[in-house]
Chains A and B, each alone.
Chain A
Amino acid sequence: MYLLKNSLKNIGRNAGRNLLIGIILFVIIGATAVAILINTATKAIIDDYRTRFGSEVTLSLDYGKAIDGGAYTDTGENGLAVTDITPAMQLEFAKSPYLKETRMTSSTMANVPGLKVMEDSNDNIYRVWLNGSNTPTISADFINGKRKIIDGDIYKNENDCLISKQIADKNELKIGDTLLLKRGSSEYTLTICGIFEDHTMDGVTRHPLEAVNPLNNSNNEILTAMETAEKIGVESLAATYYLKDPSTLDKFKADLLNKGLPGYYNVKTDEAGYKAVVGPMENMQGITNTFMIVVLAVGAVILLLVSAMAARERKYEIGVLRAMGMSKGKVVTGFAVEMLLITVVCLGIGLGLSALIAQPIGNSLLQSQIELAQEAAKNGLVTVTTIDTGALAAAAASTVTALSEIKIALSGMAALEISLVAIGLAIASSLIGIIRIMRYEPMRILSERG
């Protein structure tokens, strides 16, 4: 207890020196705290982006490879006889363990006998589209507001379906009614679970000579779950694959080749989009990391010098305390407690102030990084648009977006990290000088002064 009391008194006794050490500590703590806060925030955002959006993979035909691989014929489409990626293959690819998710939409022509459709024509066997989807928000029309469920809910059970308000009104259909869907000789009964308002045909005009075809009118689409669509039959399938981790692209590609993907298809991530979103954050992390290392290194050296000078200055005090019978351990503990008290005060002020200034600094850094990214975009490297964080971000998942602001807050973990860095640095730097002096016998210290 007396060690603590004496340490407290010593802080006041050596106010000038302790103030100098306190200012240095405060600068180090403040700068480190700002760096750690920005770093923590950017890391959280990057991790969040990775978790939410993964990394989009596209499959595209590499004509060069196809020709080199002998796929060229005179009769093939575009002069190439290539193996198309079938819906069955796409469904198989979706089972890859490297994927976070696969977003799929399918289209199948079908007929519902007796159903009055928009722009009807007797010339068509099939008069409606049966569109399957494995995620309810996958359709851009629901995201951009052209379609909206106004009655019922999204399909949850097998054979559930959604129809447009136009079809529902035209046929006086309501939730719970069934549709008998025919495709070839097969018949399937679908239950209406929801009705959506459909503005996708708003403003669409037909050329007077254009043949009337109900399949050209999107009001005639029946929407259902992918599982239901698969059971009925999929004619065309659009699949977008999202990797769990962008670095597993090569493994995913190898897996696809194993599953039958011809070698002349490119398997690529949407690297530009990912970079556009995460790039500024990663750059900010790099800047703050470098800044933190420089501050810690320079700060540690300055603190070490000041502490070494302070230890020399206190050499006599150490000699007196040792001559009075204070053990080496207690002398070191007393000095460490003193430094700890100064550090705690600096930590409190440093953390508080850095929590206040980290936000504007972070915004300024992010803005400069976005400007750099936009500059690059002008040069044709990437396309960048900006949106706020929040609900819109999730809705616009499929677009290439960059953050326009960063939310920086002092978390418990960040505070702990900063505290450990500060205390470790302060104690280590102060005790090095003290321990060096402690090697001498008290008589030598006192006689040197004499």
Chain B
Amino acid sequence: MSILELKNVSYAYKGGDGKVLNGVNASFEKGIMYAVMGKSGAGKSTLLSLISGLDLPTEGEILFDGTDLKTVSRDAYRAKSIGVIFQSFNLLTNATVIDNIILSMNISGVKGGNKEAAYALLEKVGIDKSKANRKVLKLSGGEQQRVGIARALSHAPDIIIADEPSGNLDGSTEDSVMQLFKDLAVKDNKCVIIVTHSKNVAACADEVLSINNGVLSPMKRSKLLK
């Protein structure tokens, strides 16, 4: 059974020219890693904001575990059911790394949301204790990206969405992060959705979707080789 389902989802910005998403139908399941590819302006970020409950579609339904997001508290959905890794990180820059993780745990109401659990999570994404107590602003782009990943995982959500997660990572870190996502899908039975330009990243996914002119469609893996 799919954990997330999009039914005829359309979206148009107020005062914008036409629909950014046009009758999107898709279903996402746990244990699978998805990659969504598309050109700039194709509607990838809009799709991400709708799936992550940051906005609502102008038409259609987004069902989480069979329930329309319009009928539930989107705050609770964001806090507990979904973890978002933003391209621009969206961390609390004047707070320390560890505070970002602990605050996320607190908001989600994670039991045992303590420093040790947060340190362990950061360790998992390659941030050691010495850096964990620094302010986010003092970290490099790649490190901030990893903090963003740790924060998205801090409350053990069912769905993890990542917007260009490897954009700020070097080659070796990219590989380890992609392996982390793969493990989350396969070993931890999470639904992982990655929005990316990178064919290498998409190649790691179990299923690849393409978004073009606001329409989402499956993409043949053979296209990734081109």
Q: Are B84 and A323 in contact (CB under 8 A)?
A: yes
Answer whether A319 and B90 are a contact pair too, CB < 8 Å, given A325-B76, A326-B107: yes
Asked if B108 CB lies within 8 Å of chain A CBs, one says yes
Q: How far is the CB of A22 from chain B (nearest CB, A)?
A: 18
Is A112 among interface residues, defined by CB-CB distance under 8 A? no
Contact with A along B135-175 (1 / 0, CB 8 A): 00000000000000001000000000000000000000000
Are A443 and B49 in contact, CB atoms less than 8 angstroms apart? yes
Tell me if B176 counts as interface (CB < 8 A to partner A). Answer: no
Q: Once the chains bind, are B54 and A442 in contact (CB under 8 Å)? A: yes
Nearest-neighbour CB distance to chain B for A20, whole angstroms, equals 16
Q: Encode B53-97 as 1/0 by CB contact (under 8 A) with A.
A: 011000000000000000001011111100010101011101100
Interface size class of B (residues with CB under 8 A): 20 to 34
Contact A323 B54 (CB under 8 A): yes
Q: Does A407 lie at the interface of the complex (its beta carbon under 8 Å from any beta carbon of B)?
A: no
- Give Cα A450–Cα B45 distance, bound, in whole angstroms: 12
Among A13, A325, A328, contact of B78 (Cβ-Cβ < 8 Å): A325
B26 at the interface (CB under 8 A from A): no
Report B-chain residues with C-beta under 8 Å of the C-beta of A443: 49, 54-55
| Residues A2 and B106 in contact in the complex (CB < 8 Å), given A441-B54, A446-B90 | yes
Given contacts A13-B94, A443-B54, contact A325 B77 (CB under 8 A): yes
Cβ–Cβ < 8 Å partners of B79 in chain A: 324-326
Kindly list chain B residues whose C-beta atoms are within 8 Å of the C-beta of A327. 73, 75
B196 at the A interface (CB under 8 A): no
Please name all residues of chain A whose beta carbon is closer than 8 Å to the beta carbon of B84 when the two chains form the complex: 323
> Which chain A residue shows the least CB distance to B91?
A320
- Specify which chain A residues have a CB less than 8 angstroms from the CB of B103 in the assembled complex: 2, 6, 324
**Cβ of A230 under 8 Å from chain B:** no
Is A153 in contact with chain B by the CB < 8 A criterion? Answer: no
CB distance from B84 to the nearest CB of A (A): 7
In the complex, whether A101 has a CB less than 8 A from a CB of chain B is no
Partner of A14, one of B76, B86, B94: B94
User: Does A282 reach chain B (CB closer than 8 Å)?
Assistant: no
Interface code B104-131, partner A: CB below 8 Å = 1, 0 otherwise? 1011100000000000000000000000
A interface bracket (residues with beta carbon within 8 Å of B)? 20 to 34
Residue of B nearest to A328 (CB): B75
CA of A41 to CA of B214, assembled, Å = 73
A302-339 residues at the B interface, CB under 8 angstroms: 317, 319-328, 330
Question: Which residues between 190 and 246 of chain A lie within 8 Å of chain B, taking CB atoms?
Answer: none
Chain B proximity of A12: nearest CB distance (Å) = 10
> How far is A384 from B66 in the complex, measured between Cα atoms in Å?
88
By the criterion CB–CB under 8 Å, are B86 and A446 in contact? Answer: yes
Partner of A9, one of B90, B99, B107: B99
Set of chain B residues within 8 Å of A328, measured between Cβ atoms: 75
Query: Taking A6-B103, A441-B55, A446-B86 as contacts, is the C-beta distance between A326 and B75 under 8 angstroms?
Result: yes
Which B residues lie within 8 Å of A449 (CB)?
Answer: 88
Tell me the complex Cα distance, A13–B108, Å.
23
**Would you give the shortest CB distance from B55 to chain A, in whole angstroms?**
5
Tell me, in angstroms, the Cα distance from A301 to B144 when the chains sit together.
39
Q: How far is the CB of A71 from the nearest CB of chain B, in Å? A: 89
Task: Show 7 residue pairs from A and B whose CB-CB distance is below 8 angstroms, ordered by the A residue.
Answer: A2-B103, A323-B54, A325-B75, A443-B54, A443-B55, A446-B90, A450-B88
10 interchain residue pairs of minimum CB distance:
A325-B79, A325-B78, A2-B106, A443-B54, A327-B75, A443-B49, A13-B94, A443-B55, A326-B107, A320-B90
- Known: A2-B106, A324-B104, A328-B75; 18 extra A-B contacts, CB below 8 A, are A13-B95, A14-B94, A319-B90, A320-B90, A321-B92, A323-B54, A323-B84, A323-B86, A324-B79, A324-B107, A324-B151, A325-B78, A325-B107, A326-B75, A327-B75, A330-B107, A443-B55, A450-B88
